[in-house]
């Protein structure tokens, strides 16, 4: 086997600090950015990092920020502005050709803008004109369901609460959000199995765990502060195993910026002990093998199962039917290795399963989550110290936005409460999620699109069709901090509203406001920006929503009358008092924050073994898809038109580089994967050799979608990576047009971004 270039250096450490410093400089953010970094994730009076949703480590003496958090802050705090002068210089036609990197570096949006088709440019507009245009267009719709309101998970709780209230007061539940593309299979399955769709662990559990199974996650890049926790757990004697088609090199050694010896004497902590290098989409098959062995060999917790669970016999019967041949084929792992893993699970008194997008973004995403939960239930690992389910959320407040009611399928009891508190009817019909909304947009059924943050058309599948559909609407409204691709496809009217970022100070007539977020482990944390806003023209997300509501709900429509929009935007304590009345679990919200300025943990029934499920017990669930699903799809795809030999059929997974935050591209360097470009296709060196190809070759990627249409990307440049056989990887979002709107998990409808069957064809050689 050929040697793959490995990243032998520890993760984090000096290269990370150097990279952060470079980033602050490249963003023209040194003074503003460095001041704000010192206040990031600090217990009192600072802001919660707008990066990922990993909880704060609460050590008051240290700076609890990571390299990639600093990049996000640098991006927010940059002094350059994409202002009227900028837009006067660049037509939309020109900007449409810009890369994500260029758009990101154009600077902060700093005044309200509307698109002027005569000049093909964005031009300034007053806030008042913008609000009137929005209110008029919404009021003129035949039906509120002709409007759609997207949210991205950066938005803090208070504006999120106001947003869902405004949208529902208008009369629709059309509220797709980034969760639909992210941890929706987790939310759906955990709710079904445990009664609540959230992590059952806290950080303290990580200190006590004896075994951590890390599924489909790359924390060194996406949750770097988690490395510190993993290193700590490892130091306490915990075994950590990564289940991933890739050997993510940065998971092996960690240089902790908080430890002086690591920085000056080149020491490092160890983290992951082993990698189970499964096939793409092979997780449910692997877990089936583990569960089958545990049940067959009586290594399960029968007391817990009989007291706390339902449907064990159905799972047991199903496990019996699964053959080891299918398990091996589906997972790509041989029986002996699966038994070794099962033995570790059997011996562990405290097991945490933690997971990311490698689990959820598959057609079998819900099955994967179900099998993880099944494993924890078989072992009685819910509601005990050091154990449990730890889905690691993406955006810093994606979990909180959901809790606040950003949901296209709200529960009836949530709506009942809103009606009681605000004394007006709320729409009951389910709204559109991301893929349904995109289809409705493409079918011309959506006349007004509004995005509160995010970059909908790049994050979703079928980007080009969505962008084309956006040009057919009556109005698109974007509330954002930075220019992005979705803003460049104007409908009849197109408005950009610049919002205050999380690091900036929010001062209202009622004084300086702080907001709150909910992290991945149900901790409600206050966040307060300190920096002077980049422009006086900015408004907070909450103020923008309140202003739209005030213009929208005129006497004629008289939907309003009971909701003090302006007062809530000016005084977040008042908003929190309403949240306390409307959302269960938030009783005495303000008082609890006063008593615990660092925040508080939301009650989590499954942690105390209360099961708010259909059966009143924790539920085992049998997977819906055959465990060989991914492999069967792959061999089906061998019949593609365009495929020349079975060897050219691959599964493609799409991942984040070390230098991006979702669709925001900070730079081109993926340090841990040895590349400084984004148009790469990663493949194992043995596979490159098998194909007779070379590193640097140009490869076209073709995918036949569910409507038998060919989607083509490339050429991409072949690059080496230690990745499973038959698997290739490339970067999101450049790949997103390969993905169609029909390839998704069945209930959550999360697109299968992580398992795409593709045909590869060499179109040019390295030397050329």
**Under the rule (CB under 6 A), what is the footprint of ligand MGD?**
51-52, 68, 152-154, 178, 181-182, 215-218, 221-223, 243-246, 248, 278, 280-281, 283, 356-359, 361, 394-395, 452-456, 459, 479-482, 484, 499, 501-502, 541, 653-656, 660-664, 732-733, 735-736, 753-755
Question: What is the C-alpha end-to-end distance of the chain, expressed in Å?
Answer: 27
* Binds 623: which of Mo ion, ligand MGD, none (CB < 5-8 Å by kind): none
Question: Between residues 531 and 580, which has the closer beta carbon with respect to ligand MGD?
Answer: 531
Least Cβ distance, residue 447 to ligand MGD (angstroms): 21
Question: Between residues 103 and 475, which has the closer beta carbon with respect to ligand MGD?
Answer: 103
Cα Rg of the chain (Å, integer):
25
* Binds 479: which of ligand MGD, Mo ion, none (CB < 5-8 Å by kind): ligand MGD
Q: Which stretch binds Mo ion (CB under 5 A): 181-189, 258-266, 631-639, 709-717?
A: 181-189
Indicate which single residue of 92, 155, 166, 182 sits in contact with Mo ion (rule: CB under 5 A). 182
Least Cβ distance, residue 202 to Mo ion (angstroms): 21
Question: Between residues 153 and 526, which has the closer beta carbon with respect to Mo ion?
Answer: 153
* Binds 152: which of Mo ion, ligand MGD, none (CB < 5-8 Å by kind): ligand MGD
Q: Which of 609, 611, 613, 587 is nearest to 600 (CA)?
A: 587
Q: Which of 405, 388, 379 is nearest to 304 (CA)?
A: 379
* Binds 476: which of ligand MGD, Mo ion, none (CB < 5-8 Å by kind): none
Least Cβ distance, residue 244 to ligand MGD (angstroms): 4
Question: Between residues 20 and 193, which has the closer beta carbon with respect to ligand MGD?
Answer: 20
Q: CA 20 to CA 74: how far, in whole Å? A: 9
Residue of closest CB approach to Mo ion: 394
Under the criterion CB under 5 A, does residue 167 sit at the interface with Mo ion?
no
Question: Between residues 179 and 719, which has the closer beta carbon with respect to Mo ion?
Answer: 179
Q: CA 251 to CA 270: how far, in whole Å? A: 8
Under the criterion CB under 5 A, does residue 176 sit at the interface with Mo ion?
no
Least Cβ distance, residue 499 to ligand MGD (angstroms): 4
Least Cβ distance, residue 241 to ligand MGD (angstroms): 11
* Binds 215: which of Mo ion, ligand MGD, none (CB < 5-8 Å by kind): ligand MGD
Q: Number of C-alpha atoms within 13 angstroms, CB side, residue 296?
A: 16
The H-assigned helical ranges of 348-472 are 357-360, 365-378, 398-403, 412-422, 434-442, 456-459, 463-470
Q: How far is CA 523 from the centre of its chain?
A: 18
Report yes or no: 213 and 354 within 8 Å, Cβ to Cβ: yes
Residue 422 falls in which region: left (phi positive, over 0), alpha (psi -120 to 50) or beta: alpha
Question: Between residues 187 and 361, which has the closer beta carbon with respect to ligand MGD?
Answer: 361
Under the criterion CB under 5 A, does residue 394 sit at the interface with Mo ion?
yes
Least Cβ distance, residue 736 to ligand MGD (angstroms): 5
Q: CA 240 to CA 226: how far, in whole Å? A: 13
Is residue 313 classed exposed, middle or buried when 0-12, 13-18 and 19+ CB atoms within 10 A define those classes?
exposed
> For residues 701-720, which are near Mo ion according to CB under 5 A?
none
DSSP 86: H
Sign of the torsion angle spanned by Cα atoms 207, 394, 164, 168: negative
* Binds 20: which of ligand MGD, Mo ion, none (CB < 5-8 Å by kind): none
* Binds 664: which of Mo ion, ligand MGD, none (CB < 5-8 Å by kind): ligand MGD
Going from the C-alpha of 548 to that of each of 165, 405, 509, 552, the distances in angstroms are 12, 19, 19, 6
Least Cβ distance, residue 470 to Mo ion (angstroms): 22
> For residues 574-613, which are near Mo ion according to CB under 5 A?
none
Question: Between residues 459 and 583, which has the closer beta carbon with respect to ligand MGD?
Answer: 459
Question: Between residues 585 and 626, which has the closer beta carbon with respect to ligand MGD?
Answer: 626
Say whether the peptide bond before residue 733 is cis (omega within 30 degrees of 0). yes
Q: CA 147 to CA 166: how far, in whole Å? A: 12
The DSSP H or E segment spanning 155 is none
Least Cβ distance, residue 182 to Mo ion (angstroms): 3
Q: CA 90 to CA 109: how far, in whole Å? A: 14
Question: Between residues 394 and 526, which has the closer beta carbon with respect to Mo ion?
Answer: 394
The H-assigned helical ranges of 140-252 are 157-170, 184-194, 203-208, 219-222, 225-235
* 3-class secondary-structure state, position 595: helix
Question: Between residues 427 and 498, which has the closer beta carbon with respect to ligand MGD?
Answer: 498
Question: Between residues 153 and 405, which has the closer beta carbon with respect to ligand MGD?
Answer: 153
Report yes or no: 530 and 47 within 8 Å, Cβ to Cβ: yes
* Binds 164: which of ligand MGD, Mo ion, none (CB < 5-8 Å by kind): none
> Contact positions toward Mo ion, by CB under 5 A?
182, 394
């Amino acid at each position: 086997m050929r040697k793959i270039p490995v990243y032998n250096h520890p993760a984090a450490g000096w290269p990370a600090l150097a990279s952060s410093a470079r980033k602050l400089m490249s963003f023209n953010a040194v003074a503003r950015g460095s001041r704000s970094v010192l206040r990031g994730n600090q217990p009192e009076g600072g802001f919660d990092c707008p990066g990922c949703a990993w909880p704060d480590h609460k050590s008051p003496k240290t700076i609890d920020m990571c390299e990639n958090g600093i990049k996000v802050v640098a991006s927010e705090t940059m002094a350059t502005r994409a202002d009227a002068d900028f837009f006067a210089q660049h037509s939309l036609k020109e900007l449409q050709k810009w890369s994500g990197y260029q758009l990101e570096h154009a600077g902060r949006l700093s005044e309200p803008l509307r698109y002027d088709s005569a000049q093909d440019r964005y031009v300034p507009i007053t806030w008042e004109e913008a609000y009137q245009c929005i209110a008029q267009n919404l009021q003129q719709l035949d039906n509120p369901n002709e409007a759609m309101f997207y949210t991205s998970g950066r938005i803090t709780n208070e504006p999120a609460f106001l947003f869902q209230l405004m949208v529902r007061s208008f009369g629709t539940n059309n509220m797709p959000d980034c969760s639909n593309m992210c941890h929706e299979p987790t939310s759906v399955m955990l709710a079904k199995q445990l009664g609540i769709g959230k992590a059952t662990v806290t950080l303290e559990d990580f200190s006590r765990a004896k075994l951590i199974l890390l599924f489909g996650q790359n924390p060194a890049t996406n949750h770097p502060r988690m490395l510190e926790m993993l290193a700590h757990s490892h130091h306490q004697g915990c075994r950590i195993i990564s289940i991933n088609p890739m050997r993510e090199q940065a998971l092996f050694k960690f240089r902790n910026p908080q430890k002086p010896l690591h920085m000056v004497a080149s020491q490092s902590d160890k983290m992951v002990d082993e990698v189970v290098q499964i096939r793409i989409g092979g997780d449910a098959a692997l877990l089936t093998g583990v569960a089958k062995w545990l049940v067959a060999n009586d290594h399960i917790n029968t007391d817990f199962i009989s007291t706390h669970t339902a449907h064990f016999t159905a799972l047991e019967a199903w496990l019996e039917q699964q053959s080891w041949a299918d398990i091996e084929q589906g997972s790509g792992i041989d029986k002996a290795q699966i038994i070794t893993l099962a033995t570790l699970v059997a011996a562990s008194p405290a097991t945490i399963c933690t997971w990311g997008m490698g689990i959820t973004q598959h057609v079998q995403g819900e099955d994967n989550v179900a099998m993880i939960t099944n494993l924890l239930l078989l072992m009685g690992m819910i509601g005990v110290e050091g154990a449990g389910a730890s889905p690691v959320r993406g955006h810093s407040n994606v979990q909180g936005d959901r809790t606040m009611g950003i949901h296209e399928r709200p529960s009836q009891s949530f709506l009942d409460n809103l009606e009681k508190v605000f004394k007006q009817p709320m729409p009951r019909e389910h709204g559109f999620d991301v893929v349904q909304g995109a289809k409705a947009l493409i079918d011309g059924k959506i006349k007004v699109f509004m995005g509160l943050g995010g970059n909908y058309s790049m994050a979703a599948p079928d980007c080009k069709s969505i962008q084309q559909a956006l040009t057919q609407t009556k109005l698109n409204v974007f509330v954002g901090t930075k220019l992005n691709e979705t803003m460049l496809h104007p409908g009849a009217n197109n408005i950009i509203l610049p919002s205050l970022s999380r690091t900036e100070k929010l001062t209202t007539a009622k004084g300086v406001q702080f907001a709150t977020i909910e992290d991945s482990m149900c901790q409600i944390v206050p966040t307060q920006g300190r920096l002077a806003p980049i422009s006086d023209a900015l408004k907070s997300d909450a103020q923008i929503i309140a202003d739209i509501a005030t213009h929208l709900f005129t006497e004629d429509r008289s939907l309003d009358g009971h909701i003090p929009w302006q007062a809530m935007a000016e005084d977040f304590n008042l908003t929190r008092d309403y949240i306390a009345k409307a959302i269960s679990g938030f009783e005495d919200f303000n008082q609890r924050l006063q008593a615990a300025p660092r925040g508080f943990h939301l009650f989590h029934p499954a942690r105390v073994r209360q099961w708010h499920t259909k059966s009143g017990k924790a539920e085992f669930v049998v997977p819906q898809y055959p465990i060989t699903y991914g492999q069967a799809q792959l061999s089906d795809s061998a019949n593609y038109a365009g495929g020349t030999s079975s060897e050219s059929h691959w599964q493609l997974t799409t991942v984040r580089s070390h230098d991006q935050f979702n669709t925001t591209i900070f730079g081109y360097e993926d340090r841990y994967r040895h590349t400084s470009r984004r148009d790469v296709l990663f493949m194992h060196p043995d596979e490159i050799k098998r194909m007779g190809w070379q590193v640097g070759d140009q490869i076209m990627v073709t995918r036949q979608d569910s409507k038998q249409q060919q989607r083509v990307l490339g050429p991409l440049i072949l690059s080496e990576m230690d990745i499973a056989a038959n698997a290739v990887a490339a970067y999101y979002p450049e790949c997103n047009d390969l993905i169609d709107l029909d390839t998704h998990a069945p209930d959550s409808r999360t697109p299968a971004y992580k398992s795409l069957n593709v045909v590869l064809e060499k179109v040019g050689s390295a030397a050329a």
